[in-house]
Amino acid sequence: MKYKTFFGKVFKIFNTCLKIMIYRLLYFILPQHHVCMIYAPSSKRYENLAIIEFFLKKSLCQIEELNENDCYYTINSSSEIKLWYHYNRIKIFHIYNDTNLLKVCYYLACSKVVVLDQTNRVLSVLKIGKNTKCIQAWHGGGLYKKVGFDAYRHGYSKEKEEIRVRRIHRNIDYFVISDEKLTDKYSSIFRISKSKIIPYGIPRTDIIYKRDVISDRTNFYERYPSARGKKILVFTPTFRSYVDMRRCCTDKTNQLQYNYQCCKTHQVIGKYHNYLLDFELMARELGNEFFLILRKHPTVQDGYEPQGWISDTEFPNSLMISVADILITDYSSILFDFCITGKPIILYVPDFKIYEEYERGLYIRPDELAGENNVFYDTEALVKAIKGNTFTDSTNIFKNYMSACDGNSTSRLVKFIKSFVVS
């Protein structure tokens, strides 16, 4: 076992050095003209890169016959787009998790602009050359969970976490945010000059403005006929590391503290992520009026589907936002996208104190963000509020965090990208 660990570390170091050498050699030889899109496994669901790429292709190729419906088809398609659209000398390259080493180094070395929407292992290893601009089209709008240099992991020294976070984000030249009012905060969080924070709005939110709700509902009913005649309620819990992605106990007595303690000591019971919600009660009390959807975090793939609910993670966020009547979440940034619709947003945060202490923490309390009437700490109170329709709208969230998301975010960003690659 020790030998395997040793040789594993040696191979990792060798692989890293090889990447750096190949990239630097190619970067020195090749001119930088192109655009490189770096897709993480969850990028398809987040839709940011897909819509940027669509409108960039349309703009560079001057393809007037393409329309937004093509964009939706592209985003919803299960197949990866391998075509390269080029205008004069400009090409759009793709990097996926399984793209081989030589292609990764080549694509990055000859790109004038690199666009990503999440952190990336390759960019945490390579220092991108000065002729290449790296644009972080961040996958989350607003400002809720702590990120960047504010989100050090628990159990690690501050010095090590400082080095780790600096390495992860060191290549960012420009950072796209959802509201100009957040510029100072994001500049501090990622230690980037304010002039490099570009408040163009989150590109994927453009799709929300353009979706046909009636058509989306029709297509949704074809997929789920039992949803006809019901309101659609979507529960989108975020990732929690403190429960170790498992259900730690079935005893509801002091459940939250027990969850943390048993996971801390690796006493894992069961096989599913603990969603901290009484699904059975929700289905029993609301199932006649609501069609209930559990939409898991992209990193949670536990196969769990509670009775009376459907678990669907395949359709894109914009479609879910279009058809949903009510969104229940906790600390997920999806609430900022959803607030564009003005439909009710409920925050279900039974583990608020534990999340603050053992996870990354928050910039704002849930009740300050969504209002006291929209925040709940147990399933019984949540069910009662839904039945009584006692919650308020989400217009203040949009006003305070998403005002740059006006349906034209992508066109502004594409114009900015073209300023680097089109002379």
- Same domain (yes/no): 150, 101: yes
**181 and 37 share one domain:** yes
Query: Same domain for 180 and 233?
Result: no
Q: Which residues span the domain enclosing 184?
A: 27-202+406-421
Q: Is residue 11 part of a domain?
A: no
Q: Are residues 165 and 292 in the same domain?
A: no
In a domain, 263, yes or no: yes
DSSP 179-236: -GGGHHHHHHHHT--GGGEE----TTHHHHHH--HHHHHHHHHHH-GGGTTSEEEEEE
Q: What is the 3-state secondary structure (H, E, C) of 284-295?
A: HHHCCCEEEEEC
Shared domain check, 314 and 290? yes
* Cβ 269 vs Cβ 247: under 8 Å: yes
> What's the confidence (pLDDT) of residue 5?
66
> Could you tell me if 334 and 414 lie in one domain?
no
**Rounded-to-5 percentages of helix, strand, coil across the chain:** 45, 10, 40
Q: Which CATH number fits the domain that encloses residue 165?
A: 3.40.50.11820
Please tell me whether residues 216 and 338 are part of one structural domain. yes
CATH number at residue 368: 3.40.50.12580
Q: Is 361 left (phi over 0), alpha (psi -120 to 50) or beta?
A: left
Q: How far apart are the first and last CA of the chain?
A: 56
Number of separate domains in the chain: 2
Do 180 and 232 reside in the same domain of the chain? no
In a domain, 239, yes or no: yes
Same domain for 194 and 85?
A: yes
In a domain, 247, yes or no: yes
> Over its length of 423 residues, how does the chain's per-residue pLDDT go in tens digits?
555 565 566 666 767 788 889 889 999 999 998 999 999 887 877 889 989 998 888 887 654 343 444 433 333 333 333 333 444 467 888 888 878 888 899 999 999 999 999 888 888 888 999 999 999 999 889 999 999 999 888 778 999 999 999 999 999 999 999 999 999 999 999 999 999 999 999 999 999 999 999 999 999 999 999 999 999 999 998 877 655 433 343 444 444 444 444 443 333 333 445 678 899 999 999 999 999 999 886 666 656 778 889 887 677 888 999 999 999 999 999 999 999 999 999 999 998 888 888 777 899 999 999 999 999 999 999 999 999 988 877 778 999 999 999 999 999 999 999 999 876
pLDDT at residue 232, rounded to an integer: 96
- Shortest CA distance to 274 belongs to which of 243, 234, 241? 243
pTM beyond 0.75: yes
- Residue 329 φ/ψ, nearest 5 degrees: -140, -170
57 and 170 housed in the same domain:
yes
The answer to the question of residue 13 being in a domain is no
On whether both 73 and 183 belong to a single domain, the answer is yes
Residues 320 and 414 in one domain: no
Structure tokens at 135: 């644009």
17 lies in some domain: no
56 in a domain, yes or no? yes
pLDDT of residue 298: 65
Task: For residue 332, tell me if it sits in a domain.
Answer: yes
